[in-house]
Amino acid sequence: MTAHFPHTETPSAALAGVSLSYPRGDAVLRGLDWTLLPGQVVGLLGRNGAGKTTLLETLLGLRQPQAGQVQLFGQDVMQLDDAARARIGYVPQSSDLFEAFTPAQLLAYFRSFYPRWNEAKVEGLLSRWDIARDKPIRKLSGGQQQRLSIIRALAHEPDLLVLDEPVASLDPVGRRDFLRELVDQVLDRGTTVVFSTHILSDLERVAFNLAFLSEGRIALQAPLDELLEQVRAFTGSVTELAGLFARLGAQPLKRTPLEAGRERVLARLPAGVSAPLDAQAVNLEDLFAELT
């Protein structure tokens, strides 16, 4: 038996009731709650335009929401002290990488900002990811620039690493292996990692936790294997299903009305509760299609 203790660790990131709209736009984040615990590797899934970039920018304090609270390492994100700031690594979707610099110059420049900097790791990754140290950055391929931006974010050994579509400019082949390698770089340090993607296949064997962003909220977050074990699709009359869910303690995630009085409901069962035989198993593709 494993004992379960309540989590007392300070979350790496905690968002509560966060709402954000752009001027003359619809609300992108709508009362969103989200917690990232130390050491979690989370894939943030959502369709194009769902608000992934907006959410990550808000989490980092780069955008101020109209409502709600954002804390990093237990501090208000808008008032982070320097020590907390130095614990964050961020790889934006498109980085402005000082194109006239060489990678060596760029990294030397950033090194001056951080009390901690792992030169051996930087050198190792430049070689491994095949990035010329002394070629102007504008002459590197999109994929190489993205890798350089990732090396820059890893060099100061952040405790929270945020990557916005980090493999967007890489070939479909090899994207997942690259992500796997990226996560391996930080796994032993217990770094909290969150990266966004709209491509489900990027996440296999990479993210242990999936978070689905839909309609301005995190619709669901759980370890991948738990999701596959605990989420089922149920079909039946509205009253039948309500009774069944109450009995099982199931949490409905998505309802689709069928003909009058009947519906199909995607629901999550509590851990350890076995699914009724007539409930349908769902795969990751179904979850993605239905929850995002």
| Residues from 96 through 135 that contact ligand ADP (CB under 6 A) | none
Nearest alpha carbon to residue 19 among 69, 67, 60, 77: 67
Interatomic CA distance for residues 108 and 102, integer angstroms: 10
Does 63 sit near ligand ADP (CB under 6 A)? no
Does 214 sit near ligand ADP (CB under 6 A)? no
Interatomic CA distance for residues 12 and 161, integer angstroms: 10
Segment interacting with ligand ADP, rule: CB under 6 A, options 47-55, 116-124, 243-251, 268-276? 47-55
Closest distance of CB 198 from ligand ADP, Å: 7
Q: Could you say which of 4, 6, 8, 48 contacts ligand ADP (CB under 6 A)?
A: 48
Does 52 sit near ligand ADP (CB under 6 A)? yes
Does 51 sit near ligand ADP (CB under 6 A)? yes
Residue type, 247: R
Bridge partners, residue 194, by sequence: 42, 162
Per rule CB under 6 A, count of chain residues that contact ligand ADP: 11
Beta strands in 7-59 (DSSP E): 13-21, 27-36, 41-45
Closest distance of CB 116 from ligand ADP, Å: 30
Interatomic CA distance for residues 254 and 219, integer angstroms: 9
Closest distance of CB 161 from ligand ADP, Å: 18
Residue type, 149: S
Closer CB to ligand ADP, 55 or 287, in the complex: 55
Count the Cβ atoms, other than its own, within 10 Å of residue 109.
12
Residue type, 33: D
Closest distance of CB 241 from ligand ADP, Å: 31
Closest distance of CB 23 from ligand ADP, Å: 7
Residues in contact with ligand ADP, shown as a per-residue x/- string from 9 to 38 under the rule CB under 6 A: -------------x--x--x----------
DSSP line for 120-145: HHHHHHHHHTT--TTS-GGGS-HHHH
Does 272 sit near ligand ADP (CB under 6 A)? no
Closest distance of CB 254 from ligand ADP, Å: 19
Nearest alpha carbon to residue 194 among 20, 15, 7, 6: 15
Does 65 sit near ligand ADP (CB under 6 A)? no
Bridge partners, residue 120, by sequence: none
Helices (H) and strands (E) in the chain — how many of each?
A: 9, 14
Q: Which pair of structure tokens corresponds to residue 155?
A: 């060099």
Does 49 sit near ligand ADP (CB under 6 A)? yes
Does 94 sit near ligand ADP (CB under 6 A)? no
Q: Could you say which of 11, 46, 89, 236 contacts ligand ADP (CB under 6 A)?
A: 46
Q: Which residues would be at the binding site for ligand ADP (CB under 6 A)?
A: 22, 25, 28, 46, 48-54
